[in-house]
Amino acid sequence: MNCELCQLDYVTRWYRQNPFLVVLECKTCGHPMVVLRRHTMKPTPSERLAMTNALFDVANEIYGHGNWKVRKHQRTIKDHIHWHAVPL
Protein backbone atom coordinates (compact mmCIF):
# COMPACT_ATOMS: atom_id res chain seq x y z
CA MET A 1 0.00 0.00 0.00
CA ASN A 2 1.33 3.44 -0.91
CA CYS A 3 -0.25 5.53 1.86
CA GLU A 4 1.49 8.75 2.88
CA LEU A 5 0.19 8.56 6.45
CA CYS A 6 1.04 4.87 6.88
CA GLN A 7 4.61 5.47 5.72
CA LEU A 8 5.11 8.63 7.85
CA ASP A 9 8.48 9.81 6.65
CA TYR A 10 10.37 12.23 8.89
CA VAL A 11 9.59 15.27 6.74
CA THR A 12 8.42 17.61 9.52
CA ARG A 13 8.87 17.83 13.28
CA TRP A 14 7.65 14.86 15.32
CA TYR A 15 6.38 15.74 18.80
CA ARG A 16 5.28 12.36 20.19
CA GLN A 17 5.16 8.80 18.96
CA ASN A 18 4.35 5.33 20.20
CA PRO A 19 3.51 2.05 18.46
CA PHE A 20 -0.09 3.21 17.87
CA LEU A 21 0.08 6.88 16.89
CA VAL A 22 2.27 9.84 16.01
CA VAL A 23 1.81 13.55 16.70
CA LEU A 24 3.72 15.55 14.12
CA GLU A 25 3.68 18.88 12.33
CA CYS A 26 1.38 18.71 9.29
CA LYS A 27 3.40 19.42 6.16
CA THR A 28 0.39 21.15 4.57
CA CYS A 29 -0.84 23.50 7.31
CA GLY A 30 2.02 23.47 9.84
CA HIS A 31 -0.23 22.66 12.79
CA PRO A 32 0.17 19.64 15.09
CA MET A 33 -1.56 16.56 13.74
CA VAL A 34 -2.22 13.20 15.38
CA VAL A 35 -2.12 10.20 13.06
CA LEU A 36 -3.28 6.73 13.99
CA ARG A 37 -0.68 4.32 12.62
CA ARG A 38 -3.34 1.74 11.77
CA HIS A 39 -4.90 2.33 8.33
CA THR A 40 -8.55 3.00 9.15
CA MET A 41 -11.17 5.72 9.44
CA LYS A 42 -12.87 3.94 12.34
CA PRO A 43 -10.65 4.02 15.43
CA THR A 44 -11.66 2.02 18.46
CA PRO A 45 -12.79 3.95 21.57
CA SER A 46 -9.37 3.38 23.18
CA GLU A 47 -7.60 4.60 20.02
CA ARG A 48 -9.78 7.74 19.98
CA LEU A 49 -8.91 8.42 23.61
CA ALA A 50 -5.19 7.92 22.98
CA MET A 51 -5.33 10.22 19.93
CA THR A 52 -7.18 12.89 21.91
CA ASN A 53 -4.79 12.75 24.87
CA ALA A 54 -1.66 12.88 22.71
CA LEU A 55 -2.94 15.82 20.65
CA PHE A 56 -4.06 17.69 23.79
CA ASP A 57 -0.60 17.37 25.34
CA VAL A 58 1.18 18.76 22.29
CA ALA A 59 -1.36 21.48 21.47
CA ASN A 60 -1.36 22.77 25.05
CA GLU A 61 2.43 23.05 24.91
CA ILE A 62 2.35 24.92 21.60
CA TYR A 63 -0.76 27.12 21.86
CA GLY A 64 -1.48 27.19 25.60
CA HIS A 65 -4.38 25.61 27.45
CA GLY A 66 -7.72 26.53 25.90
CA ASN A 67 -6.22 28.46 22.98
CA TRP A 68 -6.85 25.83 20.32
CA LYS A 69 -9.43 23.37 19.01
CA VAL A 70 -9.40 19.98 17.32
CA ARG A 71 -10.24 19.87 13.64
CA LYS A 72 -11.36 16.35 12.73
CA HIS A 73 -12.44 17.10 9.16
CA GLN A 74 -10.44 14.94 6.75
CA ARG A 75 -9.64 17.47 4.02
CA THR A 76 -7.05 15.88 1.75
CA ILE A 77 -6.61 12.29 2.95
CA LYS A 78 -10.02 10.75 3.41
CA ASP A 79 -9.08 7.12 4.07
CA HIS A 80 -6.74 7.48 7.08
CA ILE A 81 -7.82 9.00 10.40
CA HIS A 82 -5.88 12.06 11.47
CA TRP A 83 -6.83 15.18 13.43
CA HIS A 84 -5.30 18.64 13.60
CA ALA A 85 -4.97 21.06 16.52
CA VAL A 86 -5.58 24.60 15.28
CA PRO A 87 -5.33 27.88 17.20
CA LEU A 88 -8.52 29.79 18.03
Residues in the chain: 88
Tell me the CB-side half-sphere exposure of residue 12, using CA atoms within 13 A. 17
- The tally of domains found in the chain comes to 1
CATH number of the domain enclosing 65: 3.30.428.10
Question: Containing domain of residue 68, as a range?
Answer: 4-87
Question: CB neighbours of 29 closer than 8 A, spacing ≥ 6?
Answer: 84, 86
Q: Do residues 33 and 26 lie in contact, with contact meaning Cβ atoms separated by under 8 Å?
A: yes
Q: Do residues 53 and 68 lie in contact, with contact meaning Cβ atoms separated by under 8 Å?
A: no
pTM: 0.90
Distance, in Å, from the CA atom of 17 to the CA atom of 57, rounded to the nearest integer, reads: 12
Distance, in Å, from the CA atom of 42 to the CA atom of 17, rounded to the nearest integer, reads: 20
* pLDDT tens-digit profile, the chain (88 residues): 577 777 778 889 999 999 999 999 999 999 999 999 999 999 999 999 999 999 999 999 999 999 999 999 988 788 889 999 999 9
- β-partners of residue 85 are 70
